[in-house]
Amino acid sequence: MTEDLRTEEMIINMGPHHPSTHGVCRLVLTLDGEVVKKCVPVIGYLHRAIEKMCENRTYAQCIPLMDRFEYVTAMSTNWVFALAAEKLSDIEVPERAEHLRVIMGELNRIASHLLCIGVTGLDLGALTPFLYTFREREMILDLFEMTCGQRLTYNYMRVGGVSQDIPPEFIPKCREFLSIIDGKIDDYERILTENPIWIARNKGVGIIPEQMVYDYAISGPAARASGVNFDIRKDDTYSIYDRFEFDIPVFYGCDNYDRYRTRLGEMRQAARIIRQALDQLPEGPVRAKVPMNFKPHPGEVYARIENSRGEMGIHLISDGDKKPYRLRARGGSYNHLMAVPQIAPGLKIADLVAVFASLDIIMPEIDR
């Protein structure tokens, strides 16, 4: 009798339209009941040919395109492009501009981690922390709107500095935000970190062992939650990060729970950096004297920064013209999605959704 009770494997499509694939990603899953046997990501739904477009625009015109390359942390994408262009020229960025860049970059990191934690909760059914993290994110977006007029795609950094100075209301409002953020992070910890259901859903799920981190070039909080202590701000310092004191949270559990805790720790450290940067903010110009038609020296360079998703890098090749010759933008989620088919077999669908959310995969970075 039991030979007749065969179960068939089902091929199900967690399609581009799905409330929890963070953008338009299609996963073709082979399921045996609830358990995923094979997972094949199909991407390309958001391909906008940014690299080809950048070859036809001047350096200043490329910056809004880089905003859209990864819109959740648009400040970082602007920054890495400006860094790459500055490496190929003799421009020296003024001190005030460097401090402003650090403040904006770290505020953006906090905003991005708030989004990630809220959305992870949302995917697991904890609908309330999502609203709470977005309440804090509103404060950060108000600060950005005060500075550059935009809430999501900022177009703020320029080659040689930033585009405009901060208004006088910025600093008191920023300090007010910094005074409450630590208390709010404690709130999130109280709702989620010790919650037995949260622990049951996240501990031991989505394990990325250390060797997989090396093999798939995983960086950022996902790598630091697996015990790999690599942070570009400390290990390959750019801008003025060597003047600030901050720690790098590293955990060894390799699972969703530790990735969540790494992000909480990073938010606290980012707040610490912003406090120091605000204290040390000097007067001065916010942009170096850059000619209208900026032409870097001919050459090739690879610039990288620590984004909230991992390493963001720009490989820029210039032939001395006012347009880049070749631009290749690399985002952290690309490698994370490459690793998902290795983690997926053996997980249940509910776990796969949780892993996707906790790896913080953002599709525009992958499709460009």
Partner 1 sequence: MELAPIFIWLYNKMLEFGLGITAADIISLVVLAVVVFGFLAVTALFLVWWERKISAHIQQRFGPMMTGWHGALQTIADAVKLIQKEDILPALADRKVFFWAPVIVFVCSFAAYVVIPFGDGLIVSDLNIGVLYIVAITTFTIIALLMAGWGSNNKYALLGGMRSAAQAVSYEVPMVLAVLGVVLVTGSMSMNDIVRMQSAWGGFRWNIIFQPLGFLIYVIAATAEANRTPFDIPEAEQELVAGYNVEYSGMKFAMFFLAEFVNLFTVSAIAATLFLGGWNGPWLPSWVWFLIKTLGMVLLFMLFRWTYPRLRVDQLMEFAWKGLVPLAFVNLVYVGIVARWLNW
Partner 2 sequence: MTKDELTGYIMQHFSGRLERIENDQPEPYFIVHCDDLTALARFIHDDPKLVMNFLMNLSAVDTKERFEMVYNVCSYPLKHRLYVKTVFDRDHPEVDTVMGVWPAANWYEREVWELFGIAVRNHPDLTRFLLPDDWNEGHPLRKDWVGKDVVPFPER
Name the residues that contact partner 1, by CB under 8 A: 10, 12, 18-20, 34, 121-128, 131-132, 135, 191-192, 195, 197-198, 200-201, 348-351, 353
Q: CA 162 to CA 93: how far, in whole Å?
A: 9
Pick from partner 1, partner 2, none: which does 26 bind, CB < 5 to 8 A by kind?
none
For 162, the 3-state DSSP assignment is strand
SS3 312: strand
* Contacted by 315, from partner 2, partner 1, none: CB < 5 to 8 Å by type: partner 2
Question: Is 207 a residue that touches partner 2 (CB under 8 A)?
Answer: no
The C-alpha atoms of residue 249 and residue 224 are separated, in whole angstroms, by 7
| Contact status, residue 146 vs residue 173, Cβ threshold 8 Å | yes
Selected from 259, 334, 355, 359, the binder of partner 2 by CB under 8 A is 334
**Which one of partner 1, partner 2, none is in contact with 298 (Cβ closer than 5 to 8 A by kind)?**
none
Q: How far is the CB of 313 from partner 2 (least distance, A)?
A: 5
Task: Count other Cβ atoms within 10 Å, centred on residue 90.
Answer: 8
Q: What CA–CA distance (Å, rounded) separates 156 from 74?
A: 9
Identify which of residues 216 and 356 has a Cβ nearer to partner 2 in the complex. Answer: 216
Indicate which of partner 1, partner 2, none lies near residue 47 (CB less than 5 to 8 Å, by partner kind): partner 2
- DSSP H stretches of helix in 247-327: 256-279
Decide if residue 216 touches partner 2 (CB under 8 A).
yes
Span from 19-27, 178-186, 213-221, 256-264 in contact with partner 2 (CB under 8 A): 213-221
Name the residue nearer to partner 1 (CB basis): 13 or 61: 13
Q: Which does 127 bind (CB under 5 to 8 A by kind): partner 2, partner 1, none?
A: partner 1
In the complex, the smallest distance separating the C-beta of residue 274 from partner 2, rounded to whole angstroms, is 26
Contact partner at residue 132 from partner 1, partner 2, none, CB < 5 to 8 Å by partner kind: partner 1
Residues 119 and 37 sit within 8 Å (Cβ to Cβ): no
- Specify the stretch interacting with partner 2 by CB under 8 A; choose among 12-20, 69-77, 208-216, 349-357: 208-216
Sole residue written with tokens 């809430």: 151
- 98 sits near partner 2 (criterion: CB under 8 A): no
Interface segment toward partner 2; rule CB under 8 A; list 48-56, 101-109, 134-142, 349-357: 48-56
d(CA 30, CA 117): 28
254 phi-psi bin (left φ>0, alpha ψ -120 to 50, beta other): left
Kindly state the tokens that stand for 364: 């525009």
First vs last C-alpha separation in the chain: 54
Q: Where in 116-175 is the site for partner 2 (CB under 8 A)?
A: none
Please give the full DSSP string across 281-298, using - where no structure is assigned: ---S-SB----SS--PPS
Q: Contact 206/358 with Cβ under 8 angstroms?
A: yes
Residue 295 near partner 2 by CB under 8 A: no
- Check residue 301 for interaction with partner 2 (CB under 8 A): yes
**52 part of the interface to partner 2, by CB under 8 A:** yes
Cβ neighbors of 108 (< 8 A, separation 6 or more) are 73, 74, 75, 76, 140, 308
Q: Three-class SS of residue 342?
A: helix
> Judged by CB under 8 A, which of 230, 241, 260, 356 binds partner 2?
230
Q: How far is the C-alpha of 207 from the C-alpha of 255, rounded, in Å?
A: 5
Q: Contact positions toward partner 2, by CB under 8 A?
A: 43-44, 47, 49, 51-53, 56-57, 61, 87, 213-217, 219, 228, 230, 235-236, 299-302, 304, 311, 313, 315, 317, 325-326, 328, 330, 334-335, 338, 367-368
